[in-house]
Structures are given as C-alpha cells and as structure tokens.
Amino acid sequence: MQIHRLSALADNYIFVLHDPNSQTAAVVDPAEAEPVLRCLNNLNARLVAIFNTHHHGDHVGGNTELLRTFPEAIVYGGAADRGRIPGQQVFLQEGDRVTFADRSAEVLDVPGHTKAHIAYYFAPVLPHEPGELFCGDTLFAGGCGRLFEGTPTQMVNSLSKIRSLPDHTRVWCAHEYTQKNLQFALTVDEQNRDLQQRMAEVDAMRRRSESTVPSVLGEEKRTNPFLRWDQPVLQAKVKSQDPIQTFARLRGMKDQF
C-alpha cells in the first residue's frame, strides 16, 4: 500500500492510498475532489473507498464530487456521524475493521474534537515496519484538535488510545499546524531538549516549504504537550496534578495562543 500526501485548501492534507497491483485507491478525508482526481488520473487508479474521520467540511468536502466520478466507491465514517457525512454507507464503531488492498485497519473511537471522530490504524505487516495512523484532527504533529463537541475527559481517553500504539507508528494528521503547535509547546515545556531540537528541525523544514507530516508517534510522546498531561513539569506549569485538569488547562492556554 502506497500513501500519497496531497495538499488542499489553506493547510489541509488528503491521503490517497494506492494499491498498484489492482490499480485501486482509497482516500482519507478528501477536503476537495480536484487534487484527488488529479492524483488518481496520474496513478491510473480507480477509487473504491472514502475513509472519513469526522464530518467537518474540510474533511468531507470532496465526497459528493468523487462519488459522481466513482459511484461504486464506498464511504466510511463513524456511526455517530450518521446524516453528517455526504454519501456515508458504512457506520463504524470502536474495534471494527476496514480493508484496503492487502491491509486491514482497526477503527479507533476518538471523540473530543467532535462527538463522532474516528481514526484508522493500519498495523505493520512486518515487525520492523511502521504502522500507519490516520487520525484526522484528534492528534496533530505537536498538538491536538480543539474541543468543539467533546470534553477534556473524552479527549484524554482518545489520546490515551493513540499514545498506546507503538512508538514507530507514523501519524498522518490532516493539517500543517506543526510549527505553530511547537511554538506553543515551548511556552509550557521550555526545558525539553527533544522539543527544542524538534522546533529547530521544523523551522528549517518550513523554510524549505517541506511538509512536517507524517510525524512519528515516539517523537510526539516526547515533545507534544497534549500527550504529556501526566508529566510533572507540565502539571507544575498549570498548577494541577489531575491529568484531566492538566490537559484541559493546557488546551485552554493553546486556544488563547
């Protein structure tokens, strides 16, 4: 399974999964159709699946047009998003599995950003290979999504599921927010040397107009404050030893950053 990262809108990423053996493709969170159709044409591939993580327009905006061109494609999304995702045919819950090409992905229920947010985790085929996590707006490189429909408790539970995945998992998040996220992270975890080094690397990448996605989960665990709510340095920063309250106060600070 090959993964093609496409830029869309102002700062979105769309991910096209390609099986060169069958010349079929799936797409994750098509914000708009045009870059997907262009990619499929270049690959000479037929779209068979649309994997949506949640209902926001910058993740499902291309569904309808893609279905006009590929009417047999199947649209997947969370069960609690029924009626909110254009063309949705499959309503997924925690522990369900979806397949594409020779790969199978576990569905994770990760509410917080929205009430029905899900993620897709393709476990590695071989032990030395990375798993692939398509997490929409739940986890970002260096950050996490705003809580539009969920609670801090839900988001901590969701991020805990992601945090439990193997360190070498690749995180395919849906926005290029990394530089701003790390700038905030340094305001609450300024002595973190891993974070300082990552900030320097990301600054250099962005000067070269390079994408920072995917990130690697192990690095997120070391540098992303929203996966570090149980670290004393961050608890001291927000004056709480309660994990949920620590997360909520960090999220509130980021909202104002």
Give the distance, in angstroms, between the CA of residue 41 and the centroid of all CA atoms in the same chain. Answer: 25
| pTM (whole model) above 0.85 | yes
Q: Where are the beta strands (DSSP E) in 87-200?
A: 90-92, 97-100, 103-109, 118-122, 132-136, 139-140, 143-144, 170-173
Catalytic residue among 4, 18, 55, 56: 56
- Residue 102, pLDDT > 90, answer no
- The residue range of the domain holding 65 is 2-255
Catalytic residue among 59, 81, 109, 189: 59
Catalytic residue among 4, 18, 54, 117: 54
**Does residue 56 have an active-site annotation?**
yes
**Does residue 137 have an active-site annotation?**
yes
Whichever domain contains 238, its CATH number is 3.60.15.10
Least confident of 11-20, 120-129, 137-146, 244-253: 120-129
CA angle 72-75-77, nearest 5°? 170
Whole-Å CA distances, 210 to 179, 206, 231: 12, 5, 31
**Does residue 18 have an active-site annotation?**
no
**Does residue 128 have an active-site annotation?**
no
Domain count, the chain: 1
pLDDT one-digit tens code per residue, 213-246: 999 999 999 999 999 999 999 999 999 999 999 9
pLDDT at 126: 87
Q: Please, which pLDDT band fits residue 128 given cuts at 50, 70 and 90?
A: confident
Find all residues with CB under 8 Å of 132, minimum gap 6, and list them: 1, 3, 105, 121, 122, 169, 170, 172, 214
